[in-house]
Amino acid sequence: MEKKRFDVVIVGAGPAGVFAALELSRGGLDVAILDKGPDIDRRHCPAREPGGTCRNCQPCAIMTGWGGAGAFSDGKLTLSPAVGGHLAEILGHDKAVALIEEVDETYRAFGAPDLIYGLKNDAIEALEKDAAKAGLRFISVPIRHIGTERCVDTMRRMRDTLLERGVAIRTRTPVSRILVHDGRVNGVETGNGEHIEAGAVIVAPGREGAAWLEMMAQALGMTIVRNPVDLGVRVELPATVLEPITELVYESKFIYYSRAFDDRVRTFCMCPYGEVSTEFAGDVMTVNGHSFAHVHTSNTNFAILVSKNFTEPFDDPITYGKSIARLANLLSGGIMVQRLGDLEAGRRSTPERLARSIVTPTLHSATPGDLNLVLPYRYVVDILEMLHALDEVAPGVASRHTLLYGVEVKFYSSRLKLTPGLKSEVENLYACGDGAGVTRGLIQASASGIVAARAILG
């Protein structure tokens, strides 16, 4: 018979939940982790198998299960509080830096490689100057790259360590409700109606669980602050075009403010020698990318995203982003791909035109089409301006053969009102990671789990 009472229940087995469990179990507490997805060894995505396509598995094997979305990412550890979340403003810069260093050491102990890209040097300073001339701001941060296949091994080792410490891990166990009495959390209710009691609960559902957490927060009367939605395309081009940059910093982060609308546009998740991939955000398919540690393609891909905050009366950026993604799904049957030259000429890409491109798509299931029919005019203008600015730094980016996949959407979850210890307005209920709107990446999500765990231990 499975145990019904724990010191702490953690909802979500992504990086935030896993690192919270590592810290709590080290402190001797009795801990359970619940996740609606499968265990790491049972997470299989048909789209990532040779010749496979997305089958809209529910829940998505890429987004849910042990290790969260991070387990099947390419494992970029951004070793700076400047990007990837809000920990610096929550904890202060120096504390955030120290915590990131601690998390990085833990990843290394579980198998992350020693090599770090992007350490400051003369070449990076020269790149910053070239970017400034093109109207771009280049952000140089140190990055450790684990690689997709090594990410899985790393998360598996963390699971095995937690099992050795006696942590109860229950996958395929969705949580339907957070149980609260007299303003104090006392456990959770699972999807099959089972009640699991706990002295404290940490919710770390990741981006996939952001809508669920918002629903829980509204039911409990908690304060919610809306974060923006980032919407754009995944760009794919020959790896040689960006080699001078990727060999220097691995992932380049450029920020641009468009002339037409003064919108903030940025590059995100650069995958040198990588593959374009798909994932599901609830009921819509979106595009993404990843890189392996040992298997290389001849292409590099990255996202160009436009950040948009909404004002009254509209207050649902996630629904807005999903509606754009749903339109792309409707017109293409999934993900749409278009040559940059066709987009600028105002015509759709066809299989014949795509075959004439010098870039061979790595996402074979993408359908040639016209992104002008999907993306609002404002976004198209912003993206084109950004591509031509990048072309000044890396000639060839704005080639007519460059491929654009749509759409890519980053749903930055609504942010809960939390203390510096990530404690919510409900007594003994804590929230951390991307799903709580606190972080936007592996390192800071992992660090936020430690913050919540130490607040409980304290």
Q: What is the residue-level pLDDT of the chain in tens, covering all 458 positions?
A: 578 999 999 999 999 999 999 999 999 999 999 999 999 888 877 766 655 666 777 777 778 889 887 777 778 899 999 888 899 999 999 999 999 999 999 999 999 999 888 888 899 999 999 999 999 999 888 889 898 788 889 999 999 999 999 999 999 999 999 999 999 999 999 999 999 999 999 999 988 888 889 899 999 999 987 777 889 999 999 999 999 999 988 888 999 999 999 999 999 999 999 999 998 877 899 999 988 878 899 999 999 999 887 777 877 777 888 999 999 999 999 999 999 999 999 999 999 999 999 999 999 999 999 999 999 999 999 999 999 999 999 999 999 999 999 999 987 657 889 999 999 999 999 999 988 889 988 999 999 999 999 999 98
Which residue pairs from 277-280 have beta carbons closer than 8 angstroms and sit at least 24 positions apart in sequence? Answer: 277/47, 277/48, 277/62, 277/363, 278/47, 278/54, 278/334, 278/335, 278/363, 278/365, 279/60, 279/62, 279/63, 279/69, 280/54, 280/56, 280/57, 280/58, 280/60, 280/62, 280/63
Name the β-bridge partners of 301.
236, 271
CATH 3.50.50.60 location in the chain: 5-111+146-225+414-457
- Structure confidence at residue 50 (pLDDT): 59
- How many Cα atoms within 13 Å fall on the side-chain side of residue 322? 13
- Structure confidence at residue 1 (pLDDT): 54
- Structure confidence at residue 48 (pLDDT): 65
- Structure confidence at residue 107 (pLDDT): 96
Instruction: Provide the pairing of β-strand 299-308 with 264-271.
Output: antiparallel
Chain position carrying tokens 């510096």: 420
Which residue pairs from 115-122 have beta carbons closer than 8 angstroms and sit at least 24 positions apart in sequence? Answer: 115/144, 115/145, 116/79, 116/142, 116/143, 116/144, 117/142, 117/143, 117/144, 117/145, 117/248, 117/249, 117/250, 117/251, 118/142, 118/143, 118/248, 118/249, 118/250, 118/251
For domain 5-111+146-225+414-457, which CATH number applies: 3.50.50.60, 3.20.20.60, 3.90.1150.10, 3.30.830.10?
3.50.50.60
- Structure confidence at residue 84 (pLDDT): 86
Please state, as a whole number, how many other Cβ atoms lie within 10 Å of the Cβ of residue 223: 11
- Structure confidence at residue 411 (pLDDT): 72
